[in-house]
Chains A and B, each alone.
Chain A
């Protein structure tokens, strides 16, 4: 039993640490057959699905190339980069965390905004509480989740409510958007304010209710190759793919706004 526990905890630790540690890779060489080596992309967690698809596409086009990802919260990624984590590309879920990286002199070029994300009301499938719009967030009888004001989705929500002149009465202020979404998925809250892409990614358990005020708080996603990239050619190729038409349509399909 004890050995089993030890093994499990070891696996858990390894699972967490894995993506962050790999990635210096071999220096890619351009050749007639395409790119080679390994490109390491640090990307905001909300980009997981789209970037995984785009990475696979890049690998298909360049059979010698490997694309590996470190998906996490933008602030955690920015902190890792500032601490010297080896990476080729950084894609942030907001301009503030990208600024942390550019101000540290780590960007190889001016960051480009490649997508936007807006808030949406997420309700459990079937919308049991009959939520219709942003005004319902002032109803004390509903169980409601927002993101804490300290995290980006909470800051965006505060701005939206201020804009609409609504004082929300949440039951919980979640530490991140996924935590808020989980509570909708479990049916434990009647509604939460999350990003449109999160609603899309949650599948059938969650329904999204767009609302007009959201358009004024579009959250911008910047991307850039990094100055110390071990694989600069691959880094450029990935950034190019994300900002290409193909990349754009993949992002829009996932619920992002075109920039």
Chain B
């Protein structure tokens, strides 16, 4: 009995060694940032109004992009995991394209559709005078484009892992598919949706290439933290390190806060 318990607690060596190496690989660059950070320079950096506005814009646009991804991505995931329509594997490949597309190319592609000369953007501009590029909306669009596939993949995985027979049970209890989705499927995969949303939010927060291409870079409107970091790197690498750490601290803090809340609820319930 005791031997069994001990084995349950331990990590087998063939897993432990790569796990430790992997952790070091992921954490050491962060340690590098922390070690090289000019701590005395942090206060004046934080006092710069551009830093505050970039941070605010980053959090706002990443959250908006996550909301948009939830609204559009969860239904995509459902179609991929549950529907019997033809061409689902093609659909899956298509919606995951942004994962392999270099983000800068993604930004150019967004121009070709939503830009002033784009397929949809041109009538929008010529009929209504609306331009999307170089606005905060463009930041959200670029981030959504890049980050939504992460959500779709997570939620699809959660849906596939969830027992579809609960949905059968709901149907025999008079629930149509929409009611079943709302009252049974969605609550069942809520942890997967939450994980996907976190992944999506984190990706959106760090988004650089598609944003700077499609939304440009203008302080207060479209300059998110990653853009500010990149530009600072051109001129003052130490300032760039400080800004990276600020972004890192804020995003880690947010995730831990949310995680505590979610985990707290799910273990209690």
- Contact between chain A and chain B defined by CB under 8 Å: yes
Distance in angstroms between the alpha carbons of A175 and B131 in the assembled complex: 21
Contact B234 A75 (CB under 8 A): yes
Contact B216 A182 (CB under 8 A): no
Contact A172 B217 (CB under 8 A): yes
A-B contact count (CB 8 A): 68
Which A residue's beta carbon lies closest to that of B114?
A188
**B108 touches A (CB below 8 Å):** yes
B64-104 interface code vs A (CB 8 A; 1 in, 0 out): 00000000000000000000000001000100000110100
B230-245 interface code vs A (CB 8 A; 1 in, 0 out): 1110110000000000
Given contacts A150-B232, A171-B134, A12 and B108 within 8 Å (CB-CB): no
Distance in angstroms between the alpha carbons of A187 and B125 in the assembled complex: 13
CB-defined contacts of B218 to chain A, threshold 8 Å = 170-173
**A8 touches B (CB below 8 Å):** yes
| Chain A: interface residue total (CB-CB under 8 A) | 23
Distance in angstroms between the alpha carbons of A1 and B223 in the assembled complex: 35
**B196 touches A (CB below 8 Å):** no
CB-defined contacts of B108 to chain A, threshold 8 Å = 182, 186
Distance in angstroms between the alpha carbons of A175 and B231 in the assembled complex: 7
Distance in angstroms between the alpha carbons of A169 and B117 in the assembled complex: 22
| Chain B: interface residue total (CB-CB under 8 A) | 29
**A5 touches B (CB below 8 Å):** yes
Contact A1 B93 (CB under 8 A): yes
Contacting B at CB under 8 A, from A161-175, are 170-175
Q: Which of B93, B111, B215, B216 has the most CB of A within 10 A?
A: B216
B230 touches which of A175, A182, A187 (Cβ 8 Å): A175
Contact A179 B116 (CB under 8 A): no
Contact B234 A151 (CB under 8 A): yes
Distance in angstroms between the alpha carbons of A100 and B31 in the assembled complex: 27
B231 touches which of A150, A170, A171, A188 (Cβ 8 Å): A150
Q: A9-B100, A143-B134, A172-B134 are in contact. List 17 more A-B contacts (CB 8 A).
A: A5-B99, A12-B102, A143-B131, A151-B231, A170-B218, A172-B217, A173-B216, A174-B216, A174-B217, A175-B234, A179-B213, A182-B108, A183-B111, A186-B108, A187-B115, A187-B116, A188-B115
